[in-house]
């Protein structure tokens, strides 16, 4: 496990959609944004491979917390968002 | 609103079922048995889990630690189902569950998702304007309560453990379960004693 | 220069297109017989190891945008599941043709 609860992370600003058929569980609206690790959720087979019936390695999954109003410059101060994100989509910051 | 399936879709389904049956992969009997089993899941299961968590601290701890085990303890078969995660509301925090990428939903303990949960509007707006979405249900949070939107993107299915409402002191589990609805377990509304 | 591509059709979080579309709390629309049948087949195929949820999602995500929004929920599922079963050779592609 690479990341610890409370650790600041950034979602990779990557768009595999540009490189051909793919299946990704990292929402577009979070790419490149800063969040904080809430807690680890265990490891799960990589959906990006499962979707194409390829052998899928298990990847650690985290609950990552984000500031909600800064996502779209809307919403109420202090509100938050919690999202499951796979480790290979996260980098330390 | 959900439109009925087109004639093309109905014909495609019957060709698909016939092909699966002809190859011995899925039979009509298996389909009927599966529908019967799926129909048995309903929000009453989730409501019973919440009521028990409100009255039994050990069960509450289990529910928050391992929702799957807590569901099993209520007699729900979770074999083959995605893990169930439960998020607890507090005096300062309220959870709202959405799936922006598809429509992940804790079906084992809530049954089939309602149409609005699967709608493009709900999926688009819940992460952008959560309090506006809550207002569609007439839900206004007390001052000092923050919203935490939960975008269900991966392997878990999420359910909310709401706060036990005031005025329910001394109620037994059955009575408590009777005031908990599907909307409370998704987080678009809050239970009340009335 | 911003090289950010637009979100895929299914990737709806925050989508401006639906920003002002109301959510109708009374719109329950429980599945009809068609929906329940599709749903049951999905579960049976998954249990038999012939289909993962991610394969089904990938099939739904591949639907053209107009079709994605025009089709009903379980109609999308059916398009995806039947297509993937043909793609994997579980059934023949010709089995699905009228």
CATH code for the domain in which residue B126 is found:
3.90.330.10
**How many domains is chain B partitioned into structurally?**
2
Residue B149 token pair: 């939107």
pLDDT (0 to 100) of residue B187: 98
ipTM of the complex: 0.97
Does any domain span residue A3?
Answer: no
Range of the domain at B17: 7-39
Chain A environment of C48 (Cβ under 8 Å):
none
Mean pLDDT of C63-84: 95
pLDDT (0 to 100) of residue C3: 77
Range of the domain at A42: 8-92
Percent of chain B's residues with pLDDT above 70: 99
Does any domain span residue B193?
Answer: no
Chain C environment of A52 (Cβ under 8 Å):
55, 58
In tens, the pLDDT along B107-147 reads: 999 999 999 999 999 999 999 999 999 999 999 999 999 99
The minimal CB distance from C13 to the residues A18, A27, A52 is found for: A27
Q: Compute chain C's Rg from CA coordinates.
A: 16
Verify that B21 and B92 share a domain, yes or no. Answer: no
Does any domain span residue B194?
Answer: no
By annotation, the residues of B acting in catalysis are 99, 102-104
| Lowest pLDDT segment from B51-60, B113-122, C2-11 | C2-11
Mean pLDDT of A60-88: 97
Q: Which of A72, A76, A85, A89 is the best residue to mutate to test the B interface, defined by the most B CB atoms within 10 Å of its own CB?
A: A76
Chain B within 8 Å of A70 (Cβ-Cβ)? no
Percent of chain A's residues with pLDDT above 70: 99
Give every CB contact of residue B151 below 8 A, 6+ residues apart in sequence.
A27, A81, A82, A83, A84, B98, B99, B100, B126, B127, C13
Q: Say yes or no to pLDDT of C59 above 70.
A: yes
Verify that B20 and B99 share a domain, yes or no. Answer: no
In tens, the pLDDT along C22-56 reads: 999 999 988 999 999 999 999 999 999 999 999 99
- Interchain contact, A72 vs B128, CB within 8 Å: yes
Average pLDDT of chain C, as a whole number: 95
Verify that B175 and B87 share a domain, yes or no. Answer: yes
Chain B within 8 Å of A56 (Cβ-Cβ)? no
Does any domain span residue B2?
Answer: no
Chain A environment of B148 (Cβ under 8 Å):
65, 79-82
Verify that B106 and B48 share a domain, yes or no. Answer: yes
**How many domains is chain A partitioned into structurally?**
1
Residue (of B86, B95, B143, B151) closest to B123 by Cα position: B151
- CA C8/CA C65 separation, integer angstroms: 9
Mean pLDDT of C58-64: 95
């Amino acid at each position: 496990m690479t990341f610890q609860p409370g650790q600041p992370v950034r979602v990779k600003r990557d768009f595999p959609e540009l490189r051909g058929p793919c299946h990704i569980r990292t929402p577009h609206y979070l790419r490149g944004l800063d969040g904080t690790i809430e807690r680890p959720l265990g490891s799960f087979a990589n959906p990006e491979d499962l979707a194409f019936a390829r052998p899928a390695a298990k990847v650690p999954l985290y609950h990552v917390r984000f500031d909600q109003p800064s996502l779209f410059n809307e919403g109420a101060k202090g509100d938050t968002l919690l999202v499951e994100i796979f480790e290979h989509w996260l980098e330390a910051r | 609103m959900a439109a009925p399936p087109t004639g093309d879709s109905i014909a495609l389904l019957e060709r698909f079922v016939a092909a699966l049956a002809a190859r011995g992969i899925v039979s009509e009997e298996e389909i009927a048995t599966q529908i019967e089993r799926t129909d048995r899941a309903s929000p009453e299961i989730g409501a019973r889990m919440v009521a028990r968590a409100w009255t039994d601290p050990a069960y509450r701890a289990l529910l928050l630690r391992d929702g799957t085990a807590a569901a099993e303890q209520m007699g729900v078969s979770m074999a083959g189902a995605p893990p169930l995660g439960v998020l607890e509301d507090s005096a300062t925090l309220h959870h709202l569950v959405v799936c922006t990428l598809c429509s992940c939903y804790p079906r084992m303990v809530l049954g089939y998702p309602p149409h609005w949960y699967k709608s493009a509007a709900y999926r688009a707006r819940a992460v952008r304007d959560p309090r506006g979405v809550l207002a569609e249900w007439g839900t206004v949070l007390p001052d000092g309560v923050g919203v935490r939107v939960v975008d269900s993107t991966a392997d878990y299915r999420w359910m909310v453990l709401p706060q036990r409402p005031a005025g329910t002191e001394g109620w037994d589990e059955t009575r408590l379960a009777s005031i908990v609805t599907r909307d409370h377990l998704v987080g678009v509304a809050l239970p009340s004693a009335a | 220069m911003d090289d950010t591509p637009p979100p895929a059709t299914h990737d709806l979080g925050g989508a401006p297109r639906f920003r002002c579309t109301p959510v109708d709390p009374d719109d329950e629309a429980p599945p009809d017989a068609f929906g329940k049948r599709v749903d049951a087949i999905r579960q049976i195929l998954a249990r038999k190891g012939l289909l993962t949820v991610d394969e089904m999602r990938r099939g739904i995500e591949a639907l053209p945008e107009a079709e994605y929004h025009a089709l009903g929920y379980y109609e999308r599922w059916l398009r995806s599941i039947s297509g993937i079963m043909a793609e994997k050779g579980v059934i023949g592609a010709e089995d699905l043709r009228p």
